[in-house]
Structure 1
Amino acid sequence: MQAIIATLGYVFSADQREILMIRRDARPDDVHFGYYNGLGGKLEPDEDVVSGMRREILEEAGLTCDALDLAGTISWPGFGRNGENWFGFVFRITAWSGTPLASNPEGTLVWTPVEDVLAGAVPMWESDRHFLPLVFAERPRVFHGVMPFAAGRALSWDYRTG
């Protein structure tokens, strides 16, 4: 399978009760418009996934990652706007330095209670609700999942830990 390689990171507050999310509200043509999401993006050809995650957090939030852990990987066949396959490396950023930006070209940055995210009180991709409990678990284990998409909707979700 050929896929777009991407990173997706969740920046935790010092007390671990909130995460820094982007509210995608800058471009009405954005497939994510109106949704809250973690930070991240496509990997550059000359970087590894950790370097890519660090770059994305710096570019999108103005923060330097001091500690980040791999939460898991997800294969998203058919996820792209034109049905492209995506493969994502999902990270927890548990220590960082700097002052978060208020916004970036994709939207507004918002500290969001983890509790609200897990309760479904935040507008986001419905499919994110499948894997976010794994990312935000009190004792997280690395997971590897697959979530096929068609016509902008997840068809299923399967994962393994280990």
Structure 2
Amino acid sequence: MNKTVLTTICYIEKGGKTLMLYRNKKKNDVHEGKYVGIGGKFEFGETPEECIIREIKEETGLTVNSLRYHGLISFPKFANDDNWYMFIFSCRDFEGEVPEDRLDDCPEGRLLWVDNDKVMDLNMWDGDRVFLEWVATKKVFNAKIEYKEGILDKYHVDFY
């Protein structure tokens, strides 16, 4: 039976760099070999903000002071024919440092700070390249991004 999967993602910035996660550790990971922002799936009862704040703490050790909300994207039949919904945030106001040993010890993969002008050069989902352009507009958006067999097929966005 198909289900709805609720997720969050955050692009954490500091000093002209963005913290990215290279996914290379989890078995059967739909994101294996890709660079993604920090985030994950909701736990029961969480709001999008509670989810992303928890995920950032778990994956990086950083404490969020404030977030910027950018939008919601639906990904029909993204993995196992499940429909995924992703709430997108960015963060520039946080406390702490990612410990050096944490860079290689994140459960999902390797954390690394990437120069902002190099992020689009990383191996990431093609849809991520599209929505990162939307994030840069500073407008809130709702969108649908569709893949067929892992390849970007089509997308639609509404800005508010």
**Length-normalised TM-score, structure 2:** 0.90
Q: Which of residues 94, 109, 112 in structure 2 aligns to 1:110? A: 112
Which of 135, 140, 143 is the matching residue for 2:141? 143
**Structure 1 outlier segments of 4+, above 4 Å:** none
- What CA deviation, in whole Å up to 9, does each residue of 1:24-54 have, x standing for no partner? 1224642212211001111111211101110
1:49 aligns with 2:54: no
What is the alpha-carbon distance in structure 2 between the residues aligned to residue 108 and residue 2 of structure 1?
29
Match of 1:6 in 2: 7
- Amino acid in structure 2 at the alignment position of 1:24: R
Distance 2:71 2:116 in 1: 18
Map residues 38-77 of structure 1 onto 2, 5 A cutoff. 38-77=37-76
Name the structure with the higher helix share. Answer: 2
Alpha-carbon deviations, 1:42-96, whole Å to 9, x = none?
Answer: 111121110111000001111111110101110000111x111000100011111
> Are the equivalent residues in 1 in contact too, given 2:20–2:36 (CA < 8 A)?
yes
* Mapped pair 1:31 → 2:33: no
Deviations 1:85-109 (A, max 9, x none): 0001000111111121313111110
**Structure with the higher fraction of residues in strand conformation:** 2
Unpaired segments ≥5 residues, structure 1: none
Contact between 2:11 and 2:90, CA under 8 Å: does it hold in 1?
Answer: yes
Please state how far the C-alpha of 1:117 moved relative to its aligned partner.
1.7
- Structure 2, unmatched stretches of 5+, are none
Whole-angstrom distance in 2 between the partners of 1:161 and 1:28: 36
TM-score, normalising length from structure 1?
0.89
